Structure 1
Amino acid sequence: MRWLSVALLFVLALLQYPLWLGKGGWLRVWDVDRQLEQQREANAQLEARNAGLDAEVRDLKQGFDAIEERARFELGMIRNDEVFVQVPERGETAAAPAPPAEAPPQAQAKPSAKKAGR
C-alpha cells in the first residue's frame, strides 16, 4: 500500500509539472495576461495622444484660430492694430534704477603688450 501511495504521488507530480511550469502552464498564462494589460494601457495612452494630435491637425487645416494662437504665444507676434504692453514682475521693479548716462570718459590709448610668439 505504501508503494502505491508513493507511485500515485509521483504520477500526480508528473502531471502537475506541465500544468504549472510547462510552456502553456499557469505561470506563463499569468505572465502573458500581465503583459497584455500593460500593452492595453500603453495603447490607450497612445490613442489619447493620437486623438489630440488629430484634433490639432484638423484645427490647423480648418481655421486660423490655432495658427494665430501659435503665432502669438510661440513667436510673440501681434496684429497691426494692437499695442504690445509688457508688465514687469515685482522682483524686477525692486531693482535700483540705472543712473543717468554721463558723457563717456576720455580713454587714453594704452600701449598693447605684445604676446610671445607673434
Structure 2
Amino acid sequence: MRTLTLILLALLGALQHHLWWGKNGLAEYHEARANVFRQQEDNQLLVERNALLYREIEDLNNGLAAVEELARNDLGMIKPGETFYRLLPAQDKPQP
C-alpha cells in the first residue's frame, strides 16, 4: 500500500509539473492571454484610425469644402481676389 501511495504522489507531482511549467502550461497560457489582449487594443486603435480615414475619403468624394481646406493647408493656395496675411510672432531682440 505504501508503494502505491508513493507512485500516486510521484504521478501527481509529475502532472503538477507539466501543468505549471510544462509546454502549454499555465505560464504560457497567461502570456498568450496578455498578448491577445494587447493585440485587441492595437486592433481597436487601427479600427478607429481606419474609420477616420474612411470619413475623410467620403468627405473628399462628396464635397468641395474638404478639397479646398486641404489645398489651403497643405499647398498654401488662396482664392483669386483674396488677400493673404501672414502674422509672425515678434522675436525678442536682446538689448545691448
TM-score (norm 1): 0.67
Deviation larger for 73-82 or 1-10: 1-10
Q: Does 1:89 align with 2:96?
A: no
The residue number in structure 1 matching 2:37 is 37
The residue number in structure 1 matching 2:70 is 70
Identical positions, percent: 39
- Residue 34 of structure 1 aligns with an amino acid whose one-letter code is A
Query: Whole-Å Cα distance in 1 between the matches of residues 69 and 57 of structure 2?
Result: 14
Deviation at 1:24, TM superposition (A): 2.9
For residues 49-60 of structure 1, the aligned pairs below 5 Å read: 49-60=49-60
- Residue 57 of structure 2 aligns with an amino acid whose one-letter code is V
Give the gaps of 5 or more residues in structure 1.
95-118
- Residue 91 of structure 1 aligns with an amino acid whose one-letter code is Q
For residues 95-114 of structure 1, the aligned pairs below 5 Å read: none
Deviation at 1:5, TM superposition (A): 5.6
1:4-34 CA-partner distances (Å, limit 9, x unpaired): 6644432221111221123332112111101
Which structure is higher in helix share?
2
Deviation at 1:36, TM superposition (A): 0.5
The residue number in structure 2 matching 1:108 is none
1:42-80 CA-partner distances (Å, limit 9, x unpaired): 101111111111111111101011110111111111111
Query: Whole-Å Cα distance in 1 between the matches of residues 50 and 86 of structure 2?
Result: 36
- Residue 28 of structure 2 aligns with an amino acid whose one-letter code is R
* Structure number, greater radius of gyration: 1
TM-score (norm 2): 0.81
The residue number in structure 1 matching 2:18 is 18
Give the gaps of 5 or more residues in structure 2.
none
